[in-house]
A and B are shown apart, each in its own frame.
Chain A
């Protein structure tokens, strides 16, 4: 680019300090969280399908509840996880919960804490209605092992208490689960599909983080998974469908403003880049600085 004199608005648009974007993003995210605007959202067909699949579960159905996420990923999936588990509890579904990342051990308190009133209301208790197996699915081999011989792979829960005598006695292999609910940042998400969905034909519903949606869409279109909640947005839509506003709906204003900001900065950057380039070419061709 040629050397130029004076103030060049295009150059400024193309080369502004990117740290201003972070400051602006921080303000745009925090402001609506502190003072929600209440922008409208629509509910996608994906979320309706997910809702229908979970809503079709019957009392006493045993679901493999795969928490395939680390703590940071939970921040994105939290609305979907909370709304889904509210549905599970209200429907009396029995949950066999696996934590697939060491950090995942901090998540149960984050999920069942806010849902305590619902659990008390429906008399939903640990041992009778849900069991947390802990960190048991770290890799493909562990998933395959659990799918083929459940009690051979797991004999105790996350506290070291025996799971014998619980509702998990009814589970011999992966085919005995009615559904797999997978909340995933991608740790063993493929293995869950391969060893539960593909081998036993168990329906899989999934809440995936944003960066995984493109890959998961291919699975959804091909019928490999049965329903997909997309990132926080999907969780917010589910909250709306079950009439239980939570962190998802609260964060949608911040989401919307953040997306508008990105679009505006993309437009500014491109106009700046093209304008600056054109002027530089002009300066080069005319020799005028």
Chain B
């Protein structure tokens, strides 16, 4: 048996979700504003609490354990807060520069292997492995890489065979963009289907989901037709 608190949380959650979906209606809607601001407030509150807990567990406990260098990280973190003060905001540049520098140094150390050398060696593949389909893949990679690279030649006039290679590269790029778009659609549909699955499992949620959807749609139409949406919505 589901508890009253859990039941209320789920039902309100479903209703807020559909209020948020009303952004797809394309007109100002106070329910959407309410849902959006509620979400922002909750997400910010959760982030702040979790971040403070993180600082306690990694820094405060570390200092108590004798790792005194962590005091410097706390000071740098506190300096970051000066960003909110117009007069002393320049102080925050020091920890910011430190963060950017450390991040870059840490990632550049290995990114040259994972995103550059490994990609090049992954591109240079044997064309014939004995499997016809592998030959198709290998040949596609070889042709695509060469023609697309010629498309990005900017320092020379693209004429003759280079022109046709660049043109082919351009069309292959379009195919690539199409594939990326399809994967993006699949991903976004995945989010929606996953959430709708959540809203319909277990089955007792189904009436609340359907009622929320219908009520929100009717209210969106009413707000639109009466002009109330414009008046009541936050900008």
Indicate if the CB atoms of A102 and B46 lie closer than 8 Å. yes
Indicate if the CB atoms of A75 and B198 lie closer than 8 Å. yes
Q: Is B131 an interface residue (CB 8 A)?
A: no
Q: Is B89 an interface residue (CB 8 A)?
A: no
Q: Is B156 an interface residue (CB 8 A)?
A: no
Q: How many angstroms between the C-alpha atoms of A193 and B109 in the bound complex?
A: 12
Shortest Cβ distance from B46 into A: residue: A102
Indicate if the CB atoms of A105 and B50 lie closer than 8 Å. yes
Indicate if the CB atoms of B111 and A76 lie closer than 8 Å. no
Interface centre among B43, B51, B107, B189 (most CB of A within 10 A): B189
The interface size of chain B toward A, counting residues with CB under 8 Å, comes to: 54
Indicate if the CB atoms of A214 and B179 lie closer than 8 Å. yes
Known: A29-B192, A231-B190, A250-B197. A153 touches B58 (CB 8 A): yes
Pick the interface stretch among B117-125, B165-173, B225-233. Answer: B117-125
A235 CB to closest chain B CB (Å) equals 9
The 8 A CB mask of B1-26 against A (1 = contact, 0 = none) is: 00000000000000000000000111
Q: Is B38 an interface residue (CB 8 A)?
A: no
Pick the interface stretch among B28-36, B60-68, B80-88. Answer: B60-68
A interface residue count range (under 10 / 10 to 19 / 20 to 34 / 35 or more): 35 or more
Pick the interface stretch among A53-61, A124-132, A138-146, A270-278. Answer: A138-146
Q: Is B215 an interface residue (CB 8 A)?
A: no
Known: A22-B24, A103-B43, A140-B106. A255 touches B190 (CB 8 A): yes
Q: Is B211 an interface residue (CB 8 A)?
A: no
Q: Is A89 an interface residue (CB 8 A)?
A: no
Interface centre among A73, A199, A232 (most CB of B within 10 A): A232
Q: Is B37 an interface residue (CB 8 A)?
A: no
Indicate if the CB atoms of A223 and B53 lie closer than 8 Å. no
Q: How many angstroms between the C-alpha atoms of A256 and B190 in the bound complex?
A: 11
B22 CB to closest chain A CB (Å) equals 10
Indicate if the CB atoms of A156 and B61 lie closer than 8 Å. yes
Indicate if the CB atoms of A33 and B26 lie closer than 8 Å. no
Q: Is A30 an interface residue (CB 8 A)?
A: yes
Known: A30-B200, A34-B206. A210 touches B193 (CB 8 A): no
Q: Is B188 an interface residue (CB 8 A)?
A: yes
Indicate if the CB atoms of A140 and B103 lie closer than 8 Å. yes
B71 CB to closest chain A CB (Å) equals 15
Indicate if the CB atoms of B194 and A76 lie closer than 8 Å. yes
In the complex, chain B residues 102-160 whose Cβ is within 8 Å of any chain A Cβ: 102-103, 106-107, 109-111, 113-114, 118-119, 121-122
Indicate if the CB atoms of A33 and B200 lie closer than 8 Å. yes
Q: How many angstroms between the C-alpha atoms of A233 and B190 in the bound complex?
A: 8
B118, B122, B191: which contacts A76 (Cβ < 8 A)? B191
B77 CB to closest chain A CB (Å) equals 12
Indicate if the CB atoms of B196 and A222 lie closer than 8 Å. no
B61, B107, B114, B195: which contacts A224 (Cβ < 8 A)? B114
Indicate if the CB atoms of A258 and B110 lie closer than 8 Å. no
Indicate if the CB atoms of A73 and B191 lie closer than 8 Å. yes
A76, A193, A250: which contacts B190 (Cβ < 8 A)? A76
| Chain A hits for B43, CB < 8 A | 102-103
Known: A26-B213, A34-B206, A223-B122. A232 touches B193 (CB 8 A): yes
Q: Is B180 an interface residue (CB 8 A)?
A: yes
B63 CB to closest chain A CB (Å) equals 12
Q: How many angstroms between the C-alpha atoms of A85 and B90 in the bound complex?
A: 47
Q: Is A155 an interface residue (CB 8 A)?
A: yes
Indicate if the CB atoms of B25 and A141 lie closer than 8 Å. no
Indicate if the CB atoms of A156 and B196 lie closer than 8 Å. no
Between-chain CB contacts (< 8 Å), 19 pairs = A26-B213, A29-B196, A33-B197, A76-B194, A102-B43, A102-B46, A136-B58, A194-B107, A194-B109, A195-B106, A195-B110, A210-B186, A210-B188, A210-B189, A210-B190, A213-B187, A224-B114, A251-B194, A259-B185
Which A residues have a C-beta under 8 Å from some C-beta of B?
Answer: 19, 22, 25-26, 29-30, 33-34, 72-76, 78, 102-103, 105, 134-136, 138-142, 144, 152-156, 160, 190-191, 193-195, 197-199, 209-214, 218-219, 221-224, 231-233, 247, 250-251, 254-255, 258-259, 262
- Additional A-B contacts beyond A153-B58, A210-B188 (10; CB < 8 A): A19-B24, A30-B200, A34-B200, A140-B102, A198-B114, A212-B187, A218-B119, A232-B193, A233-B190, A251-B193
